[in-house]
């Protein structure tokens, strides 16, 4: 790859990571709240598949 393509690729990867970071934070908060309330991860998966 040429240097310009490598730079473009790195920029795309960087901006996708920046865009995804708030979504990851929200999922972490939801996961923490479910754990605090005592809801097991396998129960959440089961409920998600029955809806």
pLDDT number for residue 20: 94
pLDDT number for residue 19: 93
How remote is the C-alpha of 33 from its chain's centroid?
Answer: 16
Q: Can you give the C-alpha Rg of the chain in angstroms? A: 18
Q: φ and ψ at 34, to 5 degrees?
A: -65, -40
pLDDT number for residue 31: 87
pLDDT number for residue 43: 66
d(CA 26, CA 49): 21
The model's pTM:
0.55
pLDDT number for residue 51: 55
pLDDT number for residue 44: 65
Instruction: Average pLDDT across each block of 10 residues of the chain; the chain has 51 residues. List them in order.
Output: 93 95 92 85 68 55
- Quick one: CA dihedral 4, 7, 11, 12, positive or negative? positive
């Amino acid at each position: 790859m040429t240097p310009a393509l490598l730079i473009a690729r790195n920029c795309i990867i960087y901006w996708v990571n920046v865009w995804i970071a708030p979504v990851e934070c929200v999922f972490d908060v939801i996961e923490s709240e479910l754990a605090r309330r005592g809801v097991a991860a396998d129960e959440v998966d089961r409920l998600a598949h029955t809806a």
